Amino acid sequence: MSGTEELLVEPDALAAALDRPDAPTLLDVRWRLVGPPGRDDHRAGHLPGAVFVDLDTALCGPPGPAGRHPLPDPATLQAALRAAGVRAGHPVVVYDGGDGMSAARAWWTLRWAGHRPVRVLHGGFPAWVAAGLPVTTDDPAPAPGDVTVAPGALPVLDAGAAARLAAADSGVLLDVRAAPRYRGETEPIDPVAGHVPGAVNLPAPEYVTDGRFPPVDALRERFAGAGVTETGVVGAYCGSGVTAAQAVLALHLAGRPDAALYVGSWSNWVADPTRPVATGDTPGS
């Protein structure tokens, strides 16, 4: 069973680790769905030694029918990680602006790429600052890394697999978007409102608050309330696979390291007008 010590790190513990000769590689992955760019935040101040890695261009592929944040090209991802100093088998810590979403997607992407020793700074940059720890504007120049990207180390759903999971009696597909989007009442980003038929709504605030996760027992209880069992197949989607990556991280914390991410998420589902769309409070069929 996954433990928080393997997935999350608190600011004080990270500060202590950075003082050691084998300090982890730090990646600043701050990002907003609608600007300004996270790189601007990095330039204004970041953790000492942290290298900025862009979610849109390095950790994800270009938007299109596969979704707004599809899987990255492995060669492009490998080049970006090596440029950031990521070394094979060496620990990495990722952090964002505090909501935990882009850090979770970075965590998921590195794990999917076969790099297992990666943790998320719990609470992100605001937690680091609140702890009174140092911030710098110095531009880091890491030695090139040698990580090799080997895709497929975490389970992924495509649209067909997501549909089958949503319809299955022995599993659950979680839709972690806000309830009005799930119900089809509003859709601020994608062209069609509603949800994958059979998907169960569990909005992200039910299991994470301001980028911080509740105790493991509370996580298990909340996922169980949405139909997640100890053994049934579980997957998650959102608008474009960023918030859902945070759900997968929460499921890992709750002891479900087999949780699958529908990377394309709703933005991929509605790219094909022949796919069915459900609305209303209930999963539908």
pLDDT bracket for residue 102 (50, 70, 90): very high
**What are the extents of the domains in the chain?**
4-130, 156-269
Please give the average per-residue pLDDT across 265-273, as a whole number. 97
Above 70 in pLDDT, residue 2? no
Closest CA to 122 of 97, 100, 91, 90: 100
**Prediction pTM value:** 0.96
Above 60 in pLDDT, residue 1? no
Q: What is the 3-state secondary structure (H, E, C) of 190-253?
A: CCCCCECCCCEECCHHHCCECCECCCHHHHHHHHHHCCCCCCCEEEEECCCCCHHHHHHHHHHH
Q: Is the peptide bond before 36 cis (omega within 30 degrees of 0)?
A: yes
Each residue of 190-244: pLDDT tens digit?
Answer: 999 999 999 999 999 999 998 999 999 999 999 999 999 988 999 999 999 999 9
CATH value of 156-269 in 3.40.250.10, 3.30.310.50, 3.30.479.30, 1.10.1040.10: 3.40.250.10
Say what the pLDDT of residue 33 is.
85
- The reply to whether 60 belongs to the active site is no
For the domain made up of 4-130, the CATH class stated in words is: alpha beta
Each residue of 109-125: pLDDT tens digit?
Answer: 999 999 999 999 999 99
Above 70 in pLDDT, residue 285? no
pLDDT bracket for residue 4 (50, 70, 90): low
Amino acid at the residue 129: V
Sign of CA dihedral 10, 178, 69, 222: positive
Catalytic residue chosen out of the listed positions 101, 165, 208, 238: 238
